[in-house]
Chain A
Amino acid sequence: MEQANNGHAPAPVDTDEVLLEIKDLKTHFFLDQGVVHALEGVDFTVNRGQTIGLVGESGCGKSVTARSILSIVPPPGRVVQGEILFHRAPTADRPGETVDMAQLDPKGSLARSIRGGDISMVFQEPMTSLSPVHTIGAQIIEAISLHRDCSQEEAAEITVEMLRRVNLPQPEGVLKRYPHELSGGMRQRVMIAMALSCQPSLLIADEPTTALDVTTQAQILTLMQELQEEFGMAIIFITHDLGVIAQMVDYVVVMYLGEVVEMADVNSIFYDPKHPYTRSLLHSIPKLGRKSVEGLTSRLTAIHGVVPDPYSIPKGCPYHPRCHDAVRGVCDTDNPTLHTLPGDHKVRCVLYDD
């Protein structure tokens, strides 16, 4: 059980204080072929310094959730309902405030100052996520200059310091390099350095290790844990890799077809999963034994049936066509609400109705 959390001490931050509240978030894509209901009412909360894992099969809306939080949903997509309340910590020249990212003008100055400043993101594709025609230094310095009040020279110094912190050899040299001169793992370190260069209170990591080989994956994960201890930011860790979840996070949010179907602390999810979908996710990992799961890289595969296409989400519980426990006449008519079970374990399934 301890292994699941990897025994890391929590960051020195008041983890009871709420940082981000997502309430009934709906994000849709308005395509010519129809409306894709990418998010159909997502609710979860992130506390300061907490690490949340967002897990689910490909296409369930993890990345769209991340983009909604940053208000960078690409058109024709847009947040159509719900709140994304971000509690911004006070700084020297401004009091703390609560901002609803869903209401902001995505191109406006407030949204832009939060993006990259208070909330930053590491993307899945380190090979293509950096501009091929600008140096590493220029790209990180730009981020720093946007959010911190400092000269170019100071920004360059901070950049070198950040590159050192992510264990890149010869950080002064890396500053002048172009992305294509670095390996995938090094680029992801650069992305992490850039994301943390403005000391955000929330880091969203969207499958940051999926594109990397196993050894590099493990190194990057360890690095992120170290940096979290040092910087104390909260992390939303998006992955479809339950091994990574077990190693990295405190709290797990399981998504299916744009909805949260279950959420609980990591141990409850691994040892007492409630939702049939979560159970089948865990079953699909062959040997997630009671032993150490560190470095385990099992992928979510071989769940019975396929994810329905996003234009025609099934009526009732969206999971019922694939569910072994489905109750006829109930599951195919009404979508259950999210119940809270003892231990603050939340699940969306009729089996747990009172």
Chain B
Amino acid sequence: MLLYIIRRILFMIPTLAAISILSFAIIQLPPGDFLTSYAAQLAQEGDLVDEEELEALAQRYGLGQPVYVQYWKWIKGIATKGDWGQSMEWQKPVAELIWERLALTVVLSMSALLVSWFIAIPIGVYSATNQYSILDYSMTAFSFIGLGVPGFLLALIILYLAHSQLNMNVGGLFSEEYMLAPWSWAKIMDMLAHIWVPMFIVAISSTAGNIRITRANLLDELNKPYVETARAKGVKETKLIWKYPVRVAMNPFFSTVGWSLASLISGTTLVAMVLSLQTTGPMLLRSLTAQDMYLAGTFLFMLSTLTIIGTLISDVLLAIVDPRIRLEQ
């Protein structure tokens, strides 16, 4: 297994190189060079164009030099200094912009993912084992509604209800006083107090689907002979259900959980915009519309990287939970 993982990681290197070239091609897309547009933008905003700063940037990113030199400088900057380039729109280094957002996004999405499955699994198991019961019907109805209502609409409704009925503002991840404050214990507590509503909105919109997946997978397993074997052994019914068919029915979940890593970044964009969350989704979208190319390229690079890593994680997880799958060829 370890050998397999190492080999997969080694294989990742050429793939990542290819992705980085692609991402860089995107950075190069807009006409003119980055520096000219940067200077233009500064001028437009009435800022003083600091010739020295421009010179330093040109030096740093090899602007004006052949494309491969620029690419090499970009990659070298990432690898050695964690320098992902400069955001034009924010006038800040990309690295400074994304890490906090990335961390927030991961916290939000991961907790939403866990909450969603935590709700979905028991309900899905109940629905499958009590097929055609009243609760099964109501859950089926709920999940159809849940599947039909997009997350951002749910966010809008909740935002509106909270505001009109409770006079509460549930948007955002922080209170105003902490919004721009540096990280501190108090800021973390403030975030924990605010993260609930967005987390549940993000969780609920995937719960409906997860209930359906759990229910369908479990229904497939419930009539398998190994379940009857366990029953014929005299195993208690509830224990039997959780130990055997549920366990097997969860395998597809493990095989997809890694992929959700990539959608962590882009997935909840609409909800995040409605709720004005400082996550990566809105920034990614903005960077694309604003042609903020270093930022956009960086996001693209990260998305692809996370997809590859996520797939590996999924494969490894699945091999761990399902002994029938062997990783060594």
List A residues 233-255 near B (Cβ within 8 Å).
none
User: Does B257 reach chain A (CB closer than 8 Å)?
Assistant: no
What is the CB-to-nearest-CB distance from B329 to chain A, in angstroms, rounded to a whole number? 17
Chain B residues whose C-beta falls within 8 Å of the C-beta of A78 in the assembled complex: none
CB-based contact A116/B232 at 8 Å: yes
In the bound complex, what is the Cα–Cα distance between A100 and B229 (angstroms)? 22
Interface stretch, picked from A89-97, A126-134, A213-221, A280-288, is: A126-134
In the bound complex, what is the Cα–Cα distance between A130 and B225 (angstroms)? 8
In the bound complex, what is the Cα–Cα distance between A111 and B234 (angstroms)? 8
With A132-B248, A146-B234 in contact, do A72 and B324 touch (Cβ < 8 Å)?
A: no
What is the CB-to-nearest-CB distance from B162 to chain A, in angstroms, rounded to a whole number? 44
List A residues 79-127 near B (Cβ within 8 Å).
107, 111-117, 120-121, 123-125
Chain A residues whose C-beta falls within 8 Å of the C-beta of B35 in the assembled complex: none
Chain B residues whose C-beta falls within 8 Å of the C-beta of A130 in the assembled complex: 226, 229
User: Does B7 reach chain A (CB closer than 8 Å)?
Assistant: no
CB-based contact B248/A128 at 8 Å: no
CB-based contact A121/B244 at 8 Å: no
Chain B residues whose C-beta falls within 8 Å of the C-beta of A70 in the assembled complex: 232
Residue B233 contacts which of A115, A132, A133, A180 (CB distance < 8 angstroms)? A115
Chain A residues whose C-beta falls within 8 Å of the C-beta of B223 in the assembled complex: 74
Q: Residues of B within 8 Å of A, CB-based: how many?
A: 22
What is the CB-to-nearest-CB distance from B326 to chain A, in angstroms, rounded to a whole number? 10
CB-based contact B228/A112 at 8 Å: no
What is the CB-to-nearest-CB distance from B299 to chain A, in angstroms, rounded to a whole number? 38
**Interface digits, B204-243 against A, CB 8 Å rule (1 contact, 0 not)?**
0000000000000000000111101111111111000000
User: Does A194 reach chain B (CB closer than 8 Å)?
Assistant: yes
Number of residue pairs A-B, CB distance < 8 angstroms: 75
CB-based contact B232/A133 at 8 Å: no
What is the CB-to-nearest-CB distance from B251 to chain A, in angstroms, rounded to a whole number? 8
Q: B225, B233, B247, B248 — which one has the most chain A CB atoms within 10 A of its CB? A: B233
User: Does B89 reach chain A (CB closer than 8 Å)?
Assistant: no
In the bound complex, what is the Cα–Cα distance between A130 and B233 (angstroms)? 12
**Chain B interface residues toward A at CB < 8 A:** 223-226, 228-237, 244, 247-248, 251, 321-324
User: Does A147 reach chain B (CB closer than 8 Å)?
Assistant: yes
CB-based contact B232/A120 at 8 Å: yes
CB-based contact B324/A180 at 8 Å: yes
Chain B residues whose C-beta falls within 8 Å of the C-beta of A117 in the assembled complex: 234
In the bound complex, what is the Cα–Cα distance between A87 and B226 (angstroms)? 28
In the bound complex, what is the Cα–Cα distance between A114 and B231 (angstroms)? 11
**Chain A interface residues toward B at CB < 8 A:** 70, 72, 74, 107, 111-117, 120-121, 123-125, 128-134, 142-143, 146-147, 178, 180, 191, 194
What is the CB-to-nearest-CB distance from A220 to chain B, in angstroms, rounded to a whole number? 17
CB-based contact B244/A131 at 8 Å: yes
What is the CB-to-nearest-CB distance from A178 to chain B, in angstroms, rounded to a whole number? 4
CB-based contact B231/A115 at 8 Å: yes
CB-based contact B248/A143 at 8 Å: no
Chain B residues whose C-beta falls within 8 Å of the C-beta of A178 in the assembled complex: 323-324
Residue of A nearest to B250 (CB): A133
Residue of A nearest to B237 (CB): A107
Residue of B nearest to A67 (CB): B228
What is the CB-to-nearest-CB distance from B203 to chain A, in angstroms, rounded to a whole number? 27
Residue A115 contacts which of B232, B247, B251, B321 (CB distance < 8 angstroms)? B232
With A107-B237, A123-B225, A125-B225 in contact, do A132 and B324 touch (Cβ < 8 Å)?
A: yes
Q: A70, A133, A134, A178 — which one has the most chain B CB atoms within 10 A of its CB? A: A133
Chain B residues whose C-beta falls within 8 Å of the C-beta of A147 in the assembled complex: 234
CB-based contact A123/B229 at 8 Å: yes
What is the CB-to-nearest-CB distance from A342 to chain B, in angstroms, rounded to a whole number? 39
Chain B residues whose C-beta falls within 8 Å of the C-beta of A146 in the assembled complex: 233-235
Nearest 5 interchain pairs by C-beta: A116-B234, A116-B233, A112-B234, A115-B234, A129-B225
CB-based contact A133/B225 at 8 Å: no
Residue of B nearest to A118 (CB): B234
In the bound complex, what is the Cα–Cα distance between A129 and B228 (angstroms)? 8
What is the CB-to-nearest-CB distance from A344 to chain B, in angstroms, rounded to a whole number? 31
What is the CB-to-nearest-CB distance from B235 to chain A, in angstroms, rounded to a whole number? 7
Q: List 5 A-B contacts (CB under 8 A).
A: A112-B235, A131-B247, A132-B248, A133-B248, A146-B235
